[in-house]
Amino acid sequence: MSKKEEQTNSVGNEGVNTDFINNMTYGDYLHLDTLLSSQKRLSGHHDEMLFIIIHQVSELWMKLILHELKTSIASIEAGELSPAFKMLSRVSKIQSQIIHAWDVLSTLTPSEYIQFRDDLGQASGFQSYQYRMIEFALGYKTPHVLKIYEKDPKLLTHLQEAYKSPSLYDVSIHALSKAGFPIDEDVLHRDFTKPYKENDSVLAAWTEVYRSTDKYWDLYELAEKLIDLEDWLQQWRFRHMKTVERIIGHKKGTGGSSGVSYLKKVLDHQFFPELWNVRTSL
């Protein structure tokens, strides 16, 4: 290396630490040795690495989504809406990252995927417990999926706790009640293990919020954060469905689900029905 190159490389790096014998490094902090050694291909096929990393990255993003949702639910429950707005905005941005991940996975062709699909056995994204917990946090409670996790009692207990807890929408409806809106008692004291069903008193409350935005600005902003979240989630689901259709067509999923047919069906589900219906009622 020439003297000029040495001088160029040293510019701005004079104070950089290089002695880490007794200090924590970037890799130590992030446990990169564990993280980057967790991509273990079963087939040895080149494209299996893509398949593993896309799903692992999505699970990491879902971990952050759950972290934000859990705290935002607690914040709304405590009547502190402003911090929840920041968290819910972050969730929407995270969802956009997962949507783009499907674009990367869609570079996997059917010819490439069939080279290692059988090596997956019955493992399937349908079994993602973090995705189920996101659904639970948003109010979509489906008891039959809990059976999938009976293999791990500790995980099952964790899921059952989330299954029995109020959803993001439940605490938002309670916020309406605390603001003085007359919400039906059977909604306020409903069984949180049941899927939420739309209610006229909730629709009437959200309608008034949208008609009197100056008076109920915080609730109006909350409503729009919820709409953002569901909008992005549906786009996530749609990209998932189209990616699966592009790669395996209408074959059954590795976990036994109906694949594309199932994914199309869940697109019709709404987490916050009154917030969509209010657009028609205004």
Q: What is the full per-residue pLDDT of the chain (282 aa) written as tens digits?
A: 555 555 555 555 677 877 777 788 999 999 999 999 999 999 989 999 999 999 999 999 999 999 999 999 999 999 999 999 999 999 999 999 999 999 999 999 999 999 999 999 888 888 899 999 999 999 998 888 899 899 999 999 999 999 999 999 999 999 999 999 999 999 999 999 998 999 999 999 999 999 999 999 999 999 999 999 999 999 999 998 998 899 888 887 666 666 788 788 888 889 999 999 999 989
CA distance 56 to 101: 11
SS3 for the chain is CCHHHHHHHHCCCCCCCCCCCCCCCHHHHHCHHHHCCCCCCCCCCCCHHHHHHHHHHHHHHHHHHHHHHHHHHHHHHCCCHHHHHHHHHHHHHHHHHHHHHHHHHCCCCHHHHCCCHHHHCCCCHHHCHHHHHHHHHHCCCCHHHHHHHCCCHHHHHHHHHHHHCCCHHHHHHHHHHHCCCCCCHHHHCCCCCCCCCCCHHHHHHHHHHHHCCCCCHHHHHHHHHHHHHHHHHHHHHHHHHHHHHHHHCCCCCCCCCCCHHHHHHHCCCCCCHHHHHHHHHC
For 51, residues 6+ apart whose C-beta sits below 8 A from its C-beta are 105, 108, 113, 116
In terms of Cα–Cα distance, which of 241, 209, 240 is closest to 225? 209
117 is in an annotated binding site: yes
CB-CB contact of 119 with 50 (8 Å): no
55 is in an annotated binding site: yes
85 is in an annotated binding site: no
Q: How far apart are the first and last CA of the chain?
A: 72
132 is in an annotated binding site: no
246 is in an annotated binding site: no
CB-CB contact of 119 with 258 (8 Å): no
For 223, residues 6+ apart whose C-beta sits below 8 A from its C-beta are 172, 206, 209, 210, 275, 278
53 is in an annotated binding site: yes
pTM for the model: 0.89
CA distance 43 to 245: 23
CA distance 55 to 280: 38
269 is in an annotated binding site: no
Q: How many residues does the chain have?
A: 282
- pLDDT of the residue at 264: 87
CA distance 257 to 234: 19
279 is in an annotated binding site: no
113 is in an annotated binding site: yes
Domain 50-123+168-280 fold? Methane Monooxygenase Hydroxylase; Chain G, domain 1 (1.20.58)
